[in-house]
Structure 1
Amino acid sequence: MEEVLEKARRLAREALGDGFDHGYPHVLRVRKWAWEIVREERLVVDSLVLDLAVYLHDIGRVIGEPHAYYSALFAKSFLESQGVGRDVIDKVVNAIEYHSYSYAKTKKVEPVAVEAMVLSDADKLDALGIVGFLRVFSYNWRKGSSLEEVVEHFYEKIFNLKNMMHFTYSRAKAGELTERARAALVYFIEELPEEDKSRVKAVLNKYSSREG
C-alpha cells in the first residue's frame, strides 16, 4: 500500500499547491499534529487509514464546497481505483467527512474509528496558534472579507475550537495555542491606526460582553 500512499501524497501536493492556509503545507502540518496526538495518547491506529485521510482531507477544495463532501467523494473513487480494501476506504471517507465540524454537524456524521477523531483534532490544532492566526488572515483576505469579519471569525470559530477536541493532549495543546492566537490578535489590533481600531471596537465589545 506504500505506492497508494505515495500517489495520494503526490495528488494532494499537485492539487492543493503551496498556499499557506489550505495548501499542501497545511496537509503536512496536520500530519505532524496527527502523529503527535497518536504518540502522546499512545493510540493504536491504522497508519494507512490515518495518512490517507490526512493527505486527502482537503483535496475537494479544488472542486468546491462543502469541501469535506467533495474530498470524501474523490477519496472513495481514487482508493477504489487503486484496489484498496472496503474497510480502509470506509474509514478514510468517514474521517474526511468528520474532520469538518460544519459538515459533520449538518450531515450528522459520527466517527467510526479513532483515526477520524485524530484527524479532526489535528486539523483544528492547525487553525490555532501563530500558524492559525496567519491562516485566518490569509484565507479571509483572499476571499475579500472585511477587517470586522476577520476579527469576528476569531471569536465565532477559532477561539471555540479548543472545546471540540477529543483527546487530553489535544485539549491541552489547543488551550495553549488558543492563548497564542488571542495574544497575537491583541497585538495586531494595538498596532492598527485609530480609524481601523474604531472599526473593530464594536466587534470586540460584543464578544467581551459575552465572555464577561
Structure 2
Amino acid sequence: MRLTRALDRPDDDAHLADLHAHLAQRAEQDQLLDVSYRTVASPVGELLLATTQVGLVRVAFAREDFDQVLSLLADRVGPRILAHVAPLDAAARELEEYFTGQRRRFDLPLDLRLTHGFRRRVVEQLPTIDYGSTASYAEMARRAGSERAVRAVGSACATNPLPVVLPCHRVLRTDGSLGGYLGGPEAKRTLLALEAA
C-alpha cells in the first residue's frame, strides 16, 4: 500500500492500522527503531514486552504502569519506540508455552543493558535455578560471587528488567517466605504454583 493512499483517509481505523503496520515494517527494515513493544495476556495479568535489535530488554507487569516503563525505556535506551508486534512474536510464543506448562527455560536473545554491576551478576545467575525449584537470597549472593551481599540480591531481584524470563520469582527468603516481587506477592505465588504443578 502506498503511504499517500493511507494518509488520504486518516479517520478510517483500517487505514490507520495499515499505515501503522507499514511504518513499523519500514522502521524495522531500516533499523530506525530503538525499542519495539507489545502487550500479552498472562495468568499474572497483562505483560508489556519490549525488545531492541539486541534482544528482549524489558518485561513489565501492569502494576508498573506501562506508560512509565516506556518513558524510562525512551530515556535509557532511545526515544524511537513503536508498538510493533512482529519482533516480539518469539517472546510472546515462549511466554505462552511457559504459562501452559510446555516450556521450562527461555531461549530468547536478551539485552541486559538496564542492569549493571552486582545486580547484573545476580540476574545472570537466575536461570541457574531450575524450573520448579527455589533458592534463597543468601544462595544467590554466593552464586553471584559475594556471599555477604544478601540485601543487594533482594535489590537486584526487585529491579530485574526481565521478570518471568529471568526467574527472580524463584528466589525466597532464607526462612522460605516469599519476600518481595515486582509483580506483587500474588503473581509470585501464581508463578511458583504453576511450576510446582
TM surpasses 0.5: no
TM-score of the pair, normalised by structure 1: 0.28
TM-score of the pair, normalised by structure 2: 0.29
Task: Give the structure with the higher percent strand.
Answer: 2
